[in-house]
Amino acid sequence: MPNSHRSVSLLLVVLCCLLFCQVVESLHRRVINGEDAEAGLAPYQVSLQIGGWHFCGGSIVTPFWVLSAAHCLLNHLPSILVGVTDLSKEFEGKRYNAEYMIPHCRYDPNVHADDVGLIRTSEAIKYGEFVKPITIDWRPVPPGSKLLTTGWGAISYVELSKESSPVEEYPQKLQKIIMTAISLEECQQYYSSDGTDGTNGVDVGGLCAFFAGGTCSGDSGGPLVLKDRLVGVVSYGLACGDNIPDVFASMWMYYDFIQTITRDCLYQECVCREAMIFPHDKLYSESSKEDYFQSGKTTSNSKRKSVNRRRVLA
């Protein structure tokens, strides 16, 4: 009997080791592969927080306005932490309160297209060495461009089971990665248009970029940058760390919306009222926006096709 007990104990130890190894192996496969960002690399980067906890990123675009993702702006007014790369050193930065938030008027939490919005701060953000605005680029991003994205999103992600929430590890230090832009047509090959992967593809409002890792929970709303100009806002992806492009809200698509809100809503809370409404047959061509506006049809009342995409980023 003692030998039997010893054999059972040994078997349990072996099984536990195997399980632990599988979890560790899975965890490392999901590491997002970012690097610590040096101080001052992204002085426009902010941390949106509730109760002192980071949940989304954002970018300073004027002294009173922070740009983020619409899905980050649906609940409580966040506080806005600026001027830090290490969240454990909050004293090095400054915290601002939000006066009001304006998500894109066409954003639907059940659809997740038009995933962009703005936060108006209660006081002007004071600029300095580590706090600066970023210029928004209205031009389309050529495929192959090298893009910088930063954030405090999860650096590891593992699903232990389909029934439980994933295990995620979050950094204190701002992370950076260099991604490569791909064309809309190429990106659409990764995202199913028939809904089998939880999406209906990627429309013209999306900008796709690839990296062997990529963005994850907590990176949402953060910046995508080309040559020190903001070209995208972190929106969604199929899963963290998979070899599938991430989707960003394209500044080329939403530049007019952003300029309108920052101009007209500085001194009074208002709603989005100058959305770009596209005919259904214009949504899936990268050249459609330029052609559409050159044709002088910006007052079209055509409704935009609903896109039922699965959100996995926080």
Q: Which residues are identified as catalytic?
A: 71, 115, 220
**One-letter identity of residue 302:** S
The answer to whether 42 and 213 are in contact (CB under 8 A) is no
How is residue 83 written in tokens?
């001027």
Q: Pick the closest to residue 131 from 181, 92, 178, 88 (CA basis).
A: 92
What's the start-to-end Cα distance of the chain, in Å?
A: 53
User: Residue 46 and residue 223: Cα distance in Å, rounded?
Assistant: 10
**What is the spatial distance between Cα 295 and Cα 288, in angstroms, rounded to a whole number?**
10
Q: Which of 175, 152, 195, 163 lies closest to 314 in space, CA to CA?
A: 152
On whether the CB atoms of residues 79 and 97 are closer than 8 A, the answer is yes
Query: CB of 303 within 8 A of CB of 224?
Result: no
Nearest to 220 by CA among 102, 70, 37: 70
Q: Give the H/E segment covering residue 187.
A: helix 184-188
The Cα 171–Cα 268 span in angstroms is 37
For residues 66 and 2, what is the distance between their CA atoms, to the nearest angstrom?
68
Residue 109: left (phi > 0), alpha (psi -120 to 50), or beta? alpha
CA nearest 62: which of 305, 287, 264, 271?
264
Which two three-digit tokens encode residue 156?
Answer: 């590891």
Which helix (DSSP H) or strand (DSSP E) does residue 288 occupy?
helix 288-294
